[in-house]
Amino acid sequence: MTETPGYAAVVPELRSILPRDTFTYAVGAEHAETAVPGARVRVPFGEREVIGHVLERVADCDVDSPRAILEVLDEPPPLLPHLVELARWVAARYRAPLGEVVKAMLPAGVRAARPRGRKRGPRTTSRGALAAAEAGAPEVPHPLTPAQEAAVAPLLRAIAERRHHRLLLHGVTGSGKTEVYLVAIAAALAAGRRAVVLVPEISLTPQTIRRFAARFPGRVALIHSALTEAERAAEWRRIRAGEADVVVGSRSAVFAPLSNLGVIVVDEEDATAYKQDRVPRYHAVDVALELGRLCAVPVVLGSATPRVESFYRAHTGDLELVSLPERIGGRSLPPVEVVDLREELHAGNRSPLSLELARALTACHAEGGQSILFLNRRGTATVVICRDCGEVLTCPNCSISMVLHAGRRSCDCHYCGATAAIPSHCPSCRSAAIRGLGMGTERLEAEVREHFPRLRLLRMDRDTVQQRDAYFDIYERFRRGEADCLIGTQMVAKGWDLAGVRLVGIVNADTALHFPDYRSGEVTFSLLTQVAGRAGRGDEPARVILQTYSPEHYAVRHATGHDYLGFAREEIRFRKALRFPPYSRLCVCTFSHADDAVARSRVEGALENLSGRLDPGSGIDVLGPSPAFLHRLRGEYRWQLTVRGTDLAAALPHLPAERGWSIDVDPAP
């Protein structure tokens, strides 16, 4: 269809446009064919020129003398038509500036003011893993079990019929969910279509990459945070040019410029990493479902521990539930043995390792097995305290204690990055009785080295993976058997399928259990179940030893039995009683200011304004004002309102949009 001169609705790449996102510009004859929806353009805005994106061509203009588009920057347009519609949906659902949504869809290297020639950045370890897999013999599909055949059947039908379908694949750890994904993707490719696979960042291991690259050599592109801007832009251009048919990536890969999409896979759909913590605060799982609807393709959400919301949607008919209840090869799930840490204390054991876990670690090493010790806290000590006056060393910018890191001889804030030297005397009473309390992975490593000097140790946490590709290097060293024991945080909980792991020790199962969040039980259950699932992947028997102060808690109790259904039913009852999701949706509105009184006053004013605009029968509650859990962050005090209702549409237009406000729809833990 030939375009004629007229007008175009353009969204500039500016953050503070709400409540108006788009502006109308004249389209001259020279741009009539290229200023199409999705095009990146240069336009005048006030007294400056900015980059914008064409959303649609319009017949009429809302101003008398519209200014004209100055230049169309790219051919073909960087945003495909379905991504333009997806951007509108994301902006409306999450009450985000449309310009910010569009920016999130395009890598910074693509959004450069002038188009650049195609460049390839230096090879990362992840790209190296991809190249190595592609250089080898293509992987032959594994024979499917009857359960896998039943799981993939509805996907194959939807792909063949080119229709949207939503599937929740609940499979225990090691049950072969990835093979179901691969078969569905192969069917889409055979039909001349393409696929996107979302995985949490921590699951994007070389093993995961190899699995897809070996099955589809030369057809896989990677998108994840370890790529440089140049590498990310190069991968984006490969995808846009049709040189890659399977996109494997973390959260932002949901915006990959894939035309002729055939299937969407979201692995580990319960991962909190799918929620973006900066504007636009989208949830990639829900965005993937909407993308599937727009493109009329099936979407499969897979996990051993699905979100409670997804489980509920499956039982209301919004998702089709299929299950893989057993591990491949008839391997059993490892038994989980519970150690009550209260009893260890009563017995006089002050070590982070119970007597049973210490014995198991020794036995595992003697038998030639590998072990994983899981502790979801990093550092040496979580609190630095004066034993005389009780003074706790706190961050000067945040209302949180500093964490002791003995390795770098500092006390650090894990929120704002502030750092200080380890004090020799109490800043309050000048006593020298300064002690570090609590346990992190750094201290755990030191304790294990002291008591098990023959163990070859590796540690994986945010502190040890600062350097480029460090995560992949540690993974490969452990996979090759260069270490006997791996100590790690949640980075080791997913994506690790290693036959040599015969022991998993959960050093403290309670780190997230009593956090003031209604999802703390779900987060704990998921994390414990997933990390326990790293054991028993080989032919040798394996053990999981779980240490806890709360063995009676339902999340811990069900995790020890690998009992997702039991946990989900109990959690659903709790959510229903308190009207938490999935029985409502939430929106947290936070105002930040250097003055605590000002912050509280602004939130009180917003409450009054919002309450006056909501109809009494809207079914929407506004809770607050209340101080945020982390009341002071980066030098600013934070107060918040929580909006709750089955449908937030009536409230979203009336939420505050001024500077200082943060709006988080469907917040994640």
Which domains does the chain possess? 6-105 (3.40.1440.60), 125-329 (3.40.50.300), 333-378+440-575 (3.40.50.300), 585-665 (3.30.70.600)
pLDDT of residue 118: 45
Q: Tell me, what amino acid is at 490?
A: Q
In order, the DSSP letters of 491-550 are GGSSS---TTEEEEEES-TTTTTTSSSTTHHHHHHHHHHHHHTTS--SSS--EEEEEES-
Structure tokens at 468: 């480029």
The Cα 41–Cα 30 span in angstroms is 13
Structure tokens at 549: 């102060």
Structure tokens at 372: 């994983």
The Cα 368–Cα 200 span in angstroms is 31
pLDDT of residue 140: 74
Q: Is the dihedral of CA 627, 630, 633, 635 positive or negative?
A: positive
Please, are residues 192 and 219 in contact by the beta-carbon 8 Å criterion?
no
The Cα 580–Cα 572 span in angstroms is 9
Length of the chain: 669
Cα–Cα distance list, 139 to 126, 142, 174, 249, 472 (Å) = 18, 9, 19, 20, 22
pLDDT of residue 116: 44
Report the chain (669 residues): mean pLDDT per 10 consecutive residues. 77 71 91 93 92 92 87 92 97 93 92 53 51 61 92 97 97 93 98 96 78 94 88 94 96 96 97 93 98 98 96 96 92 94 94 96 96 95 93 94 92 94 92 92 96 96 86 91 96 86 96 90 96 90 96 97 96 96 96 98 95 89 94 97 93 91 93
Q: Show the CA angle centred on residue 320, arms to residues 316 and 326, nearest 5°.
A: 120
pLDDT of residue 2: 57
